[in-house]
Amino acid sequence: MSTKAGVAGFDLDSAWGLHAQVSIRPERFGALLYHFGTRRLSFLKNPTLLSVVRALDSEPTARQACVAAGVPDTELAGYRSALATLATSHMICERDVA
């Protein structure tokens, strides 16, 4: 994984998406992300974060996915940190922009 995955270096202005081996399973508390390659689970207990993750594949950048999900600028740092954690665990990955 690139150095962009670290919290300090996570680039909100890059294109990110759900890893091809990850599935989202909706739950009452939010959702589970399951990586079939690493067999790891991530719990998303924040519905807005779930919306951000779902928007990553359709938005040109992670920042725009946050905007589309309604994340206010004052909370962007927290979402950046959460996305960096998901990138470090390979739940999301950088994607090429066509």
Query: In which region does residue 74 sit, left (phi positive, over 0), alpha (psi from -120 to 50) or beta (all else)?
Result: alpha
Residues of the chain with pLDDT > 70, as a percent, come to: 90
Which secondary structure element, helix H or strand E, spans residue 68, and what is its range? helix 62-68
Strands 40-44 and 30-35: antiparallel
Beta pairing partners, 43? 32
pLDDT tens per residue, range 29-39: 889 999 999 99
Give the C-alpha distances (Å, rounded to integers) separating 68 from 12, 38, 72, 78: 13, 29, 10, 16
- The pLDDT confidence band at residue 43, using thresholds 50, 70 and 90, is very high
User: Mean of the per-residue pLDDT values for the chain?
Assistant: 90
pLDDT digits (tens, 9 = 90+) for 2-25: 434 455 569 999 999 999 999 999
